[in-house]
Amino acid sequence: MPYQENKSSSDLFKKVNACLEGNTPFVLYKLPGAQEVIGIMRDPEAGGQHTRFIFHPFENEEKGYELAFNAAISTSLKEIPVPESNVASSLPPDTDAKKKYLKLVQEAQAAIAKDEFQKVVLSRAVKLPGKQDPQRLFCRLAHTYSNAFCYWWYHPSTGHWLGASPELLLATQDNEVTIMSLAGTRTSKTGETVSWDDKEIEEQALVSTYIRDIVSHHGTAVSEEGPHTIQAGSLAHLGTQFKASLLSDTASLLKDLHPTPAVCGVPADSARQFIRQHEGYERKYYTGYLGLLSSDPDIPSALYVNLRCMKCEENGVTVYVGCGITAASDPEMEWQETIDKCQTMFKILDIS
């Protein structure tokens, strides 16, 4: 990675505030398990850099953004303040939203019964009123979700996005690529043994089959570990890790890989068409990907799926959640899964 300059948290946030005042793009992020926060501000003189921070939408045809930079700023996570606890503990019931989502799942299962697709990921946008401070939210995210990719992205064209993603899309190091197949969700405490049912095993297997095929076309010496349970906060998922030696460049692999069945469906084209016609809103950057992308083989890339995320605006926030739907799905359970996933973002919000 390009040169990193160590700064105090106050220096880091001074630079962030200067970016906000100047309407200049930036990103703060913390890697899973890391004890430092990295800040990247757009550098107009870094256009030719091999390493960029990417913010890519769900739809490949829509516009993505990138920050080219010569140097990053780092500060210890211990230096990042922990805002006082003033957070929400549960979502208010929403009968209309539930009816709409149950109907959507049933429509998807009817399409599955007609062999239009095997799986589709259906999401919803949960809007919560009330002004929020993105800096306070990011500080809570970074301290609360130690094993997630936590970020705060700002661009004048996208606004503020924040999240704590449990899912690595891909990472490269010395021409070796690592890709994660993640699907299935259960509420679980750390250390608990999770018993996965046939629906969740099938759902995750569909993602693994897709990734296995993509990796075999772009790499050699393919290996895999899993599936095994991966803990992400109060939620657990089924994951399989794939590794291979790359035969192509990362950009070519990304073009074939995204969107995976973990965020779209199987087959992708028909699932994506169903999503466009039935979800009732535009996902934009939810279920896209973000992170460092490098064309220099000596500098690692690390991209994460934009899950467990929200868009923060002047009058409130929008939290995005979704579930993988198969023929074996129970609509009531899928609805509850969206509620459980909402808590990841909802419990870091300030309440009035």
Residue 351 lies in a domain: no
User: Would you state the pLDDT for residue 313?
Assistant: 95
Residue 14 lies in a domain: yes
Give the count of domains, the chain: 1
- The model's pLDDT over 61-98, given as tens digits with 9 standing for 90+, comes to 999 999 988 788 999 999 999 888 676 666 667 899 99
Q: For residues 105 and 99, what is the distance between their CA atoms, to the nearest angstrom? A: 10
Three-state secondary structure call for residue 17: helix
User: Would you state the pLDDT for residue 193?
Assistant: 84
Residue 273 lies in a domain: yes
CATH number at residue 191: 3.60.120.10
Residue 181 lies in a domain: yes
Helix (DSSP H) and strand (DSSP E) numbers for the chain: 7, 18
Largest Cα span, the chain: 58
User: Would you state the pLDDT for residue 316?
Assistant: 93
Q: For residues 211 and 243, what is the distance between their CA atoms, to the nearest angstrom? A: 11
Domain containing residue 110: 3-83+90-346
User: Would you state the pLDDT for residue 281?
Assistant: 96
**How distant is the alpha carbon of residue 276 from its chain centre?**
20
Q: For 163, which DSSP code?
A: E
User: Would you state the pLDDT for residue 82?
Assistant: 87
Residue 118 lies in a domain: yes
User: Would you state the pLDDT for residue 300?
Assistant: 86
* DSSP H helices in 248-291: 250-257, 268-278
User: Would you state the pLDDT for residue 352?
Assistant: 58
User: Would you state the pLDDT for residue 231?
Assistant: 84
Residue ranges in the chain modelled with pLDDT below 50: none
